[in-house]
Structure 1
Amino acid sequence: MSAAERHALVFGATGLVGRHLVLALGAAGVRVSTAGRSRGSYERLARWLEERGHGRPPADLRVDFEAGSPLLGDPEQWQDVTEVYNCAGAYRFGMTAEEAHRANVGTVLAVVAFAAKLPRLRRLVHVSGYRVGGQDPALVPWSAERRREAYAALGAYEASKVEADAVFTAESERLGLPWSVVNPSSVIGDSVTGESDQYLGLAATLKDLWRGRLRAVPGDGTTFVPVVTADHLARFMTLLPPDDATRGAAYWVLDDATPALPGLLALVADHYGVRPPRARIPVALLRRLPRRLTGADPETLTFLSGDRYPTAPARELAARHGLSTPDVTRSILAWADHLAAYRFGDAAEGRRRFTTVAGVRTFEVGELGEHGASTVVLPGLPVSADTWAPVAAALGHARVADLPGLGMSGGGPAVWADWTGALVTGTGARHLVGHSVGAAAAVTAAAARPGLVERLTLVSPFFLQAPAGGAARWAPLTRRYLRLVSPQALSRRLTGDAGHAEALRGSVADLRRAGVAGTAARLLAAAAGRRWREELVVALRRYEGPVHVVVGADDPLTTEGRALLDALPRATVTVVPGAGHHPQLTHPGEVAQAIGAATGAARPARRVPGRG
């Protein structure tokens, strides 16, 4: 059967596997219909597909697993379906047995019964799991006692997947359907971009690693938690319907080259720049200890095993069709980057990534397209790039980069000169926007490369303003405060209002990372000293390009600072009424307008008189 003759129906198309499957089917030239619960979920899927180059949008069919037939609407829409993929179900821990059975076993029964009515069906494909596949269909239906025992021993999620695997095979055989099963391992992000929106299981372990909360590796040196990338799994699944040899077969799809769990965590820890946990804790002990001590969900412990799996048939099928497995190390690190960049689900919006600048792992948010962005914002203290994301979005063609040693970037202040140099020469930064301490990095870079840095915008440049009070000069006290501060308290400290706490959650999380609060405290102490301030004044005088200073009316320039700017031939000042040292938090629209006006990227901003 040619691709043009194929019509695929995907249940669970909005999930991680389902989305990639629709994308892979489209790339193979297969017509696709998706069964979703709402128009809104379909529209989100359609946007996701369009952003990734999917051509013809899939047909939108409505599903209701509680109804007599799972699909609603005109049957003519699915009468020529040739293949059905069941990616539906619930991947969630903490469900009751009834919830898990309804979500994972009930959907299988509904999909199989529906597929049996399709006159042109060539294949029914079910996504099971590497720890649950291969169940005996002869034991179906399960007795009430067997179900109680399985759900008590394995937990509701895994037990429901075990039962669903057996039910799928038994019902498909009973109805004479041409079936195939895929048993994927832990599904991680796209092999190139790392993109994923699943944060359970292994992803939760990486979250603890990133935040310095993983005190010990669960299991032992043989513990094997294999992975498979979402895009590879999806491409593998598209091979099944047209290949008659795959009928009635189950395939374990995972990468045998996945490092054992201690090695995998050490690999990611090195990439994250954090210390890998040295201690190991046996699974048997984890089961006995209370969850409040271990932080481990009891339902995840069954996945901590040294077992290996029968992957040869899947590898042979992939090789026969020319499908190669992505490099597992690169895939894991790309996934780890994506998880951290999106704060493990806490920052779901915007364009975010890690890149390498002068050998330093650097976090950026904002315009990240292939054409880059010539306007780069360098945030101040003690905030990170997230606080500037609304301004960057309003500007367009702008990005925000955490300085080395701050926010989510690696390195430290010692590499700022090389880093800013590479930012200018290697990434096309021509307009540097420096906020507070970020203004110091911007001025130094501009003075060192006057022919490349075409414009400077300095927002709340501390060296042209009154120095901070005595407490900020004592780094140990500041470090302790920053390590312990809550978003609400930091919001009150920076703006006088707790209402900006949500915008500061990312910054507070970053200050909890090893070394960040200490670096911020030392920089704050240095910013209060005379030497650094005088050096920056000299550097600013040397820069001959246009300089635009933006300050809050409640955080004015000193008399000396204003006199210096008045003496510079190409300097302008914008004062934002009602703003303090962090106008990007309190007045992001006005800040974006002021920056854009100076570059011609927005309507001209009115120069507002103020105390600066």
Structure 2
Amino acid sequence: MVSTQRDGGGDRYALVFGASGFIGRHLVLALGRAGVRAGAANRSPESYRRLVRWLDEHGHGEPPADLRADFTAPALVEDGCEGVTEVYNCSGAYRFGMPADEARRANVDGVRAIVAFAARLPRLRRLVHVSGYRVGGQDPAVWSEERRRETYRALGAYEASKAEADALFQAEAARLGVPWSIVNPPSVVGDSSTGESDQYLGLASTVRDLWTGSLAAVPGNARTFVPVVAVDHLARFMTLLPEDEDAEGTAYWPLDDATPALPDLLALVAEHYRVRAPRARIPVSLVRRLPRSLTKADPETLTFLSEDRYPTASASAFAARHGLAMPDTATTIRRWADHLAAHRFGEAGGGGRRFTAPAGVRTFELGEPDAPTVVLPGLPVNADTWAPVVAALGRARAVDLPGLGMSAGRRDDWPAWLSALVTGSGARHLVGHSLGAAAAVEAAAAHPEAVERLTLVSPFFLQARPARLARWAPPARLYLRRASSGALATRLTGTAAHAPALESSAADLRRGSVAAATARYLAETADPRWRDGLRAGLRRHSGPVHVIVGSEDPPTPEGRALLDALPQVTVTVIAGAGHHPQLTHPEEVARAIAGT
């Protein structure tokens, strides 16, 4: 008999171990949306506060109860467990390279403590344990020392500890009479709607290598299968288990059998990223024999590169009878890949980072979506260097120009791209820095009725031409591709003190054709015809124009004469600043742009 979940969650009270982790917090969110009261068993107040902030950002209403878990104490959780009807174990350690004793403490001893705890709950309907697609389905038994040694030697500490925990969970639950269900998820990727994820191990690390251009060959063969599941689908699946009587004593593999084989999956992401997918493939057996310094592959990850398929029928049937549809996997993968890249694979935190596609050009932007104030960065920096200014401005965003930063495209895309940016995304105040100033002027010339204000920061066409060497693209490309953040900071600001703000720009210049595009743009800024055309466009523009320059990087006498002759132009000089005042004087730049 199937007992489906009642509206509002009824009298359900779920206690989640590992609630602040990737799966755990999505589970708490899904429980809340199902009307189920939840408690979060966290090891520290800091973990709970992080969870509550995340839930609040995602529209979760009443925060879960704050319960403290102490895995060294006999009771595990002292108070607040009255009325608990279901327990979810999302805790444990997901990290490769752990010592065996550390992995066992986290993933085996933790399971033993949670099963014993659940056995003492008088109203318990179900204990749900998160195992894994490669380790699920173990025989319920306590392992001998010989089996433990062999398995840990063969699989590595992480996967072996999860396999041992799967066996121990079943054995202990049977011994203590605890009703249980197990989920064996594959690689858990981002939310199916937003792509959101902060999990950067496993498949995500391979996607990062693809993005940065460091993936020389695809490991495995044409049949290597690394299945995925969207984290929100997994969480929703788990919320349904406790009220389904047929799910008791059953293990499920909730994964998409239609996940593309690994080479096809990476080709899908490469096409989306507008990068080349490696054609070469390298057998896993060879990867094992090569030095880790060469492959950069943790030996523990290699067992996941398999052609194996998994028993998904029961999970599919369960989902079908509860009306739970698997999200489209290709779409989920693309959104997940976008989120990973937009957040620089964990190196750039916070929200407001995304990819858009004005005129079909894959474009990175940060800040408030559809904000009327749009910053167009210059050379050789990216939108991230403007993040402090954008944050200070409020309703603003910074957008990488085509071919620069994390955006795809090239100079030929400017007309259609700028038109879509202005007419399609509501850009009304264009803040162009250096090269971006040219884009702002061209956009205003093409759409004078839409662009209400221009702010030009260090507009190159009013300043001295670049040095002769910079006008020759090949050596400029070579320099830019190899330049460290410290070298860039010294060249752009005169000191290495601003190197941290340029780390992402240096990383972008090492990726794909960004350095080549930057070098070409730099050479084009010396073109007298383009410079003359931009000055003419500025003369014709009738709307208000605000020019911001550093005192150490003034316009040429001819450029200053032009500004003085135009009644719609005001000029702000930032004392002590050079060509990149957003790096050295972000507060003054923000105040100048805002007009305060």
TM range, normalised to the smaller chain?
over 0.9
- Count of aligned pairs between the two proteins: 590
Task: Tell me if structure 2 keeps the 8 A contact 1:4–1:31.
Answer: no
Match of 1:510 in 2: 508
Alignment of 1:384-533 (within 5 A): 384-533=382-531
Partners of 2:535 and 2:373 in 1: CA distance: 23
Deviation of 1:177 (Å): 0.5
| Match of residue 77, structure 2, among 71, 91, 103 | 71
Match of 1:269 in 2: 270
Partners of 1:491 and 1:148 in 2: CA distance: 52
Match of 2:84 in 1: 81
Match of 1:129 in 2: 132
Task: Tell me if structure 2 keeps the 8 A contact 1:226–1:258.
Answer: yes
Match of 2:103 in 1: 100
Structure 2 letter corresponding to 1:251:
Y
Residue 54 in 1 paired to residue 49 in 2? no
Partners of 2:351 and 2:115 in 1: CA distance: 39
Partners of 2:397 and 2:236 in 1: CA distance: 34
Task: Tell me if structure 2 keeps the 8 A contact 1:37–1:62.
Answer: yes
Partners of 2:220 and 2:264 in 1: CA distance: 12
Deviation of 1:562 (Å): 1.4
Q: Deviations over 1:504-545 (max 9, x none)?
A: 111111111111111111111111232211111011111110
Task: Tell me if structure 2 keeps the 8 A contact 1:190–1:231.
Answer: yes
Three-state SS of the structure 2 residue aligned to 1:353 is strand
Partners of 1:418 and 1:542 in 2: CA distance: 21
Deviates more, 1:252-261 or 1:38-47: 38-47
Partners of 1:146 and 1:402 in 2: CA distance: 55
Partners of 2:222 and 2:529 in 1: CA distance: 53
Structure 2 letter corresponding to 1:300:
T
Match of 2:539 in 1: 541
Residue 115 in 1 paired to residue 118 in 2? yes
Partners of 1:500 and 1:67 in 2: CA distance: 48
| Match of residue 19, structure 1, among 22, 25, 50 | 25
Structure 2 letter corresponding to 1:28:
A
Structure 2 letter corresponding to 1:335:
W
Three-state SS of the structure 2 residue aligned to 1:239 is helix
Deviates more, 1:39-48 or 1:504-513: 39-48
Deviation of 1:332 (Å): 0.3
Deviation of 1:166 (Å): 0.3
Residue 223 in 1 paired to residue 232 in 2? no
Match of 1:40 in 2: 46
Three-state SS of the structure 1 residue aligned to 2:10 is helix
Q: Deviations over 1:406-427 (max 9, x none)?
A: 0000111111111011100000
Q: Deviations over 1:223-268 (max 9, x none)?
A: 0000000000000000100111100000011111100001000000
Partners of 1:538 and 1:214 in 2: CA distance: 46
Q: Deviations over 1:208-227 (max 9, x none)?
A: 00000111110001100000
Partners of 1:13 and 1:135 in 2: CA distance: 25
Match of 2:175 in 1: 174
Q: Deviations over 1:133-166 (max 9, x none)?
A: 000113x1x1222111111100000000000000
Structure 1 letter corresponding to 2:394:
G
Q: Deviations over 1:179-215 (max 9, x none)?
A: 0000000000000100000000000000000000111
Three-state SS of the structure 1 residue aligned to 2:362 is strand
Identity of aligned residues (%): 70
Structure 1 letter corresponding to 2:287:
L
Task: Tell me if structure 2 keeps the 8 A contact 1:379–1:434.
Answer: yes
Deviation of 1:286 (Å): 0.9
Partners of 1:69 and 1:389 in 2: CA distance: 47
| Match of residue 586, structure 1, among 584, 587, 590 | 584
Match of 1:366 in 2: 367
Three-state SS of the structure 2 residue aligned to 1:34 is strand
Deviation of 1:561 (Å): 1.2
Task: Tell me if structure 2 keeps the 8 A contact 1:472–1:528.
Answer: no
Deviation of 1:350 (Å): 3.8
Q: Deviations over 1:566-587 (max 9, x none)?
A: 1112110111111100000111
| Match of residue 563, structure 1, among 551, 561, 564 | 561
Partners of 1:161 and 1:499 in 2: CA distance: 45
Alignment of 1:291-330 (within 5 A): 291-330=292-331
Partners of 1:154 and 1:350 in 2: CA distance: 37
Task: Tell me if structure 2 keeps the 8 A contact 1:63–1:71.
Answer: yes
Deviation of 1:52 (Å): 1.3
* TM-score, scaled to structure 1: 0.95
Match of 2:13 in 1: 7
Deviation of 1:349 (Å): 2.4
Deviation of 1:298 (Å): 0.5
Structure 2 letter corresponding to 1:16:
F
Task: Tell me if structure 2 keeps the 8 A contact 1:354–1:363.
Answer: yes
Match of 1:610 in 2: none
Structure 2 letter corresponding to 1:33:
G
Structure 2 letter corresponding to 1:8:
A
Deviation of 1:4 (Å): 2.5
* TM-score, scaled to structure 2: 0.98
Deviation of 1:50 (Å): 1.3
Deviation of 1:67 (Å): 2.1
Match of 1:234 in 2: 235
Structure 2 letter corresponding to 1:583:
P
Partners of 2:278 and 2:42 in 1: CA distance: 42
Q: Deviations over 1:118-144 (max 9, x none)?
A: 111110000000000000113x1x122
Structure 1 letter corresponding to 2:327:
P
Partners of 1:512 and 1:458 in 2: CA distance: 28
- Cα RMSD (Å) of the superposition? 0.9
Three-state SS of the structure 2 residue aligned to 1:501 is helix
Three-state SS of the structure 2 residue aligned to 1:506 is helix
Q: Deviations over 1:418-449 (max 9, x none)?
A: 10111000000000000000100000110111
Structure 2 letter corresponding to 1:99:
E
Three-state SS of the structure 1 residue aligned to 2:573 is strand
Q: 1:239 to 1:350 in 2, by over 3 A?
A: closer
Three-state SS of the structure 2 residue aligned to 1:237 is helix
